[in-house]
Structure 1
Amino acid sequence: MVIFMKIDVSTDNIKFFEALSSATRIRILEMLSCGPMNVKEIAEALEMSSAIVTRHIQQLEEAGIIKCENSSGIRGIQKICNLDLDQAVLFFRPRGKQSSTIKHSIPVGQYHAYSITPTCGLSSDSRIIGLLDDPRYFADPDHTKANILWFGSGWVEYRIPNYLLGNQEARYIEISMEICSEAPGYNENWPSDISFFINGIEVGMWTSPGDFGDSKGVFTPDWWNHGTQHGLLKTLLVSTEGSYMDGISISNVTIGELGISYGQDIVLRIANTETARNVGGITIFGKNFGNYDQDINVTIDYRNRVKI
């Protein structure tokens, strides 16, 4: 597969052109075109110190031209460098500040960490996973097959893949999910303060009015008789202006404060803390449950970084 960039010749992409403006960095690219090398090997070939080479490597990496990863070696950790770009197409008549989007659909059972209290449980669209009200089953290998999960208080955390390159910046992140409170059985008047964190920063809180079970969920399986039937579809947006839930401001936290950077996953935590005013738990619905046949849908809008 050939990896290429479309680059406008403009100040928006100055970091890319600066990365190519050094004879030393061009020599590094020539060497890497023959295969991966570690920093020490590059430094020896250039007859330079590793510290100076590291700065050149960082500039090429931030421009999205190379990619580095740490690897265990005989003498400790080595930084291995690879070309991450095969071609670049230059547009001398800039196309404008166009943005692009990356979309993910994350199954509700594919959390990577949790800390929860009963009442709690997980289920696929065909069976309960483990025993009800036993938090230990949140570590069951089958948790990845869950289409619905619920807990009385605590949190679950998801990793969102981040495919942005070093010369790109996120303009907004939008996260959509079906969610509600968690009451024993169900209780449509059961408020719960549900907080949302991205990369460890609380972007806002929404109070779910209840745990809905009076009417069957459109996609909830016929065999399901455990009270909760559906939730509410909520859309969280964090942009350059602030954070919003269904278009209503919930905080002044902006996308720039979230530390979304090249090479780092985006961590989403959904929480109902024991110190909240309304400790009413959380139920999260995925495909084949509730009123909306979807998992946790994520859209990341991005464009080339502006630096003059």
Structure 2
Amino acid sequence: MSEFKQELVRYPATRITEVAKALSGDLRVRILETLGDRSMSVGQLAEALGVAQPTITINVQMLEQAGLIASTPGANREKLCSVTCRSIMIELPVKPGDGLHRMEDIHMPIGMFSGCRVQPPCGMASKDGSQIGSIDDPRVFYMPERTEASLLWFSGAGSVEYYFANPIPPGVPLEELRLKAELCSEVHSFRMDWPSDISVYMNDLHVGTWTSPGDFGDRKGKLTPERWFHGTEYGSLTEWKVTKEGSFINGAPGSGTTIHQLGLHYLQPIRVRFEVSESAANKGGLNLFGAGFGDYPHDIVLSFVRSSER
């Protein structure tokens, strides 16, 4: 019998979706059946079930993430898999928000903007470092291929706007909204001393302006593809936060905009706009980095933080 086996594992309401997804596939149920009280390697599971090993690996990972399978190193560096329990008990939600984590994140690919205002020099690049469409052609920002972008840029003044769904149901108090993005200024090639005043607006209300000190290209970005050689390499991870008291940029005071003033509604999107204003003191453009570029392995992240007072 597996040393990991427990009689019963209790899952809170916040993990219903995760566990349900793990158990929703026939192959994953068959993996659990095959393991039973034994420990087996991925290769042994593949042979027993007559399924390709990469497919078994992917499905085992889903079961591991849900806590239904545990793995330990075996002989010859094989991963031995075991079922963690005999039974599970899932707690059902009893009031709005019980099925949500205290912080819910929405990851938005940078090419999924809903509106833009750009001027050349401008452009976009995909995750492998290849340019999307023609460089310095604003029409690229309206092409279907834009959804594959992992880097976008424009010079001078301009903006890109994203629509985020609201996952928080009515009646659930929200404590904070946090927006994280990796960005920097934009100039031909790069300049470490090229400031740009980059503002964030939520539902057309000013949250705060961060002044990027430059367009960063003095080293290779940690995730930037090798074939990319156009100067800009990485950005600065910047956080805008809106609370009940006001807004903040990297912990420093931003504008006076509060969560209440945003007028959030469950059935209405939250509009987030990155903008370099025509009236800005530093109209130094913008580079916005996605998961495959720069130093950080994620796109734009909007986090919804529920109140701890439930």
Unmatched segments (≥5 aa) in structure 2: 1-12, 15-91
| Residue 201, structure 1, aligned to residue 196, structure 2 | no
Partner of 1:253: 257
SS in 1 for 2:228: coil
Select 2:178's aligned residue among 167, 171, 174.
Answer: 174
Q: Name the aligned partner's letter for residue 240 of structure 1.
A: K
TM alignment of 1:109-128, pairs within 5 A: 109-126=111-128, 127-128=130-131
Q: Does 1:226 align with 2:230?
A: yes
- Aligned-partner SS, 1:144: helix
Match of 1:161 in 2: 165
Q: Work out whether 1:295 is the aligned partner of 2:303.
A: no
For the Cα contact (< 8 Å) 2:183–2:288, is it kept in 1?
A: yes
User: Could you report, residue by residue, the CA deviation over 1:241-294 in whole angstroms, capped at 9, with x for unpaired residues?
Assistant: 211111111122111111111211111000001221100000000111101111
**Cα deviation, residue 169, structure 1:** 3.2
Moved >6 Å (runs of 4+):
none
Residue aligned with 2:141, SS: helix
Structure 1 spans left out of the alignment, 5+ residues = 7-86
Aligned equivalent of 2:276? 272
Assess if the C-alpha contact under 8 Å between 2:125 and 2:151 holds in 1: yes
The one of 141, 144, 158 equivalent to 2:144 is 141
- Any idea what SS the aligned residue of 2:173 has? strand
Mapped partners of 1:121, 1:251: distance in 2: 30
Contact conserved, 1:191 with 1:208, CA < 8 A, in 2?
Answer: yes
Alpha carbons 1:99, 1:303 under 8 Å: kept: no
Contact 1:168–1:305 (CA under 8 A) maintained in structure 2: no
State whether residues 130 and 137 of structure 1, in contact with CA within 8 Å, keep that contact through their aligned partners in structure 2.
yes
Residues 91-119 of structure 1: CA deviation (Å, up to 9, x unaligned): xxxx9xx9822211111111111011111
SS at match of 2:146: helix
Name which structure has the greater RCO, CA cutoff 8 Å, separation 6+: 1
Tell me, in whole angstroms, the C-alpha distance in 2 between the residues paired with 1:100 and 1:113.
30
- State the TM-score, normalized to the length of structure 1: 0.66
TM-score, scaled to structure 2:
0.66
% identical equivalent positions: 38
Residue type of the partner of 1:140?
M
Q: Partners of 2:171 and 2:263 in 1: how far apart?
A: 14
Structure 2 vs 1, CA of residues 210 and 191 (structure 1 numbering), >3 Å: closer, same or farther?
same
* Residues 265 and 305 of structure 1, relative CA distance in 2, 3 Å threshold: farther
Q: Is the 8 A contact 1:102 1:300 kept in 2?
A: yes
Partner amino acid for 1:291?
D
The answer to whether the 8 Å contact 2:195/2:214 transfers is: yes
Task: Indicate whether 1:235 and 2:249 are aligned.
Answer: no
After superposition, the Cα gap between the structure-2 partners of 1:228 and 1:88, relative to the gap in structure 1 and judged at 3 Å, is: closer
Post-superposition Cα deviations, 1:52-77, rounded to whole Å, max 9, x if no partner, equal: xxxxxxxxxxxxxxxxxxxxxxxxxx
> Aligned pair in 2 of structure 1 residues 129, 258: CA closer, same or farther (>3 Å)?
same
Whether the 8 Å CA contact 1:243–1:250 is kept in 2: the answer is yes
Tell me the residue number matched to 2:94.
89
Do 1:170 and 1:260's aligned partners in 2 also have CA atoms closer than 8 Å? no
Cα distance in 2, alignment partners of residues 273 and 88 from structure 1: 45
Q: Distance in 2 between matches of 1:136 and 1:305?
A: 48
Q: Report the CA distance between 1:168 and its aligned residue.
A: 2.0
Q: Which amino acid aligns with 1:103?
A: D
Q: For this pair of structures, how many residues does the alignment match?
A: 216
Give, in whole Å, the separation in 1 of the partners of 2:258 and 2:188.
36
Whether 1:282 aligns to 2:286 is yes
Separation (CA, whole Å) in 2 of partners of 1:88 and 1:231:
41
Aligned-residue offset at 1:170: 2.1
For residues 291 and 197 of structure 1, the distance between their equivalents in structure 2, rounded to whole angstroms, comes to 24
